Chains A and B, each alone.
Chain A
Amino acid sequence: MKQNSIIKIVGISAYIVFILFSFINGFEPGKRIGENFITFSKGMLGVLPCAFILIGLFEVWVKRETVEKHFGEEAGIKRYVWAVLLAGTTVGGLYVAFPVAYSLYNKGAKLSFIFAYIGASAICRVPMTIFEASFMGIKFTAIRLLVSLPLVIISSILLGDYLEKRNYKIMKGK
Chain B
Amino acid sequence: MYFLYIVTAFALLLSFVASRKKTLKAIKIAVKKFVNILPAFLTMLILVSVALFFVPDKVISNYLGSNNKFFGMIFASFFGSITLMPGFIAFPLCGILLKKGVPYMVLSAFTTTLMMVGILTYPIEKEYFGRKVTVIRNVISLFIALIVALITGFFFGEVF
Contacts and interface: CB of A to CB of B under 8 A. Distances in A.
Interface residue tally on B, bucketed by range:
35 or more
Interface centre among A53, A61, A131, A155 (most CB of B within 10 A): A53
A40 B155 contact: no
A3 interface: no
Contact of B148 (A49, A131, A151): A151
A135 B95 contact: yes
Nearest to B140: A155
A143 B151 contact: yes
A60 B104 CA distance: 46
Interface string B1-38: 10011011001100100000011011111110110010
A40 B92 CA distance: 18
A52 interface: yes
Interface residue tally on A, bucketed by range:
35 or more
Contacts of A136: 91, 94-95, 98, 104, 107, 111
B140 A60 contact: no
Given A144-B112, A144-B148, A34 B30 contact: no
Interface of chain B: mostly helix, strand, loop or mixed = helix
A55 B8 CA distance: 10
A102 B30 contact: no
Given A34-B49, A56-B28, A136-B94, A98 B129 contact: yes
Q: Which 8 pairs show the lowest CB-CB distances between chains A and B? A: A56-B30, A56-B26, A36-B49, A135-B95, A37-B49, A56-B29, A50-B8, A60-B26
